[in-house]
Structure 1
Amino acid sequence: MKMQSIKSSTIDVVGYDEKTHKMRVSFRHDPAREFCHVPEQTFQAFINARSKNRFYKRHIQDAYPC
């Protein structure tokens, strides 16, 4: 899984594995979290979102448990 830095006040880096559809989100002040069965288009929308934190809270946080 390749991790990439993003511009966000709360999120530090994110990674996505296209084969397993697993996503990892590392936060600046909280433990990292993993998400399973995340569609690639959801990951791309997250990366391209104007507010990464808002997108995370609305569309990812409680939607893709492992």
Structure 2
Amino acid sequence: MTEWINVRSTAIRRIGYDASTMRMYIDFEDSDPVYTFCRVPERVFRDFVRARSIGQYYHQHIKNRYDC
């Protein structure tokens, strides 16, 4: 089951995570499809939603690292 969390970000609407599949989903403000990221440790998801800057965390820790 995917857990969705709304976040405060100018670029990202909400972030979802399914612990059983280690898949994370990002719903960006300016795009229609929800992006899927694979083999994401739960710790990364938790740190992401708690980050001071969601966008900065995305660029430093997620982008181009968890492609399916």
1:2-24 Cα shifts (integer Å, max 9, x gaps): 22211111100110011110000
The corresponding residue for 2:46 is 44
SS at match of 1:44: helix
Distance in structure 2 (CA, Å) of the matches to 1:11 and 1:52: 8
Look up the match of 1:29: 30
Deviations 1:30-49 (A, max 9, x none): 24210000001111110110
- With the length of structure 1 as denominator, give the TM-score of the two structures: 0.93
Could you tell me how far 1:61 is from its partner in structure 2? 1.1
Say what the alpha-carbon RMSD is for the aligned residues.
Answer: 0.9
Q: TM-score normalised to the size of structure 2?
A: 0.91
Confirm whether residue 14 of structure 1 aligns to residue 15 of structure 2: yes
Other-structure match for 1:64:
66
Secondary structure in 1 matching 2:5: strand
Task: Report the secondary structure of 1:55's partner residue.
Answer: helix
Query: What CA distance in whole angstroms lies between the structure 2 residues aligned with 1:16 and 1:8?
Result: 17
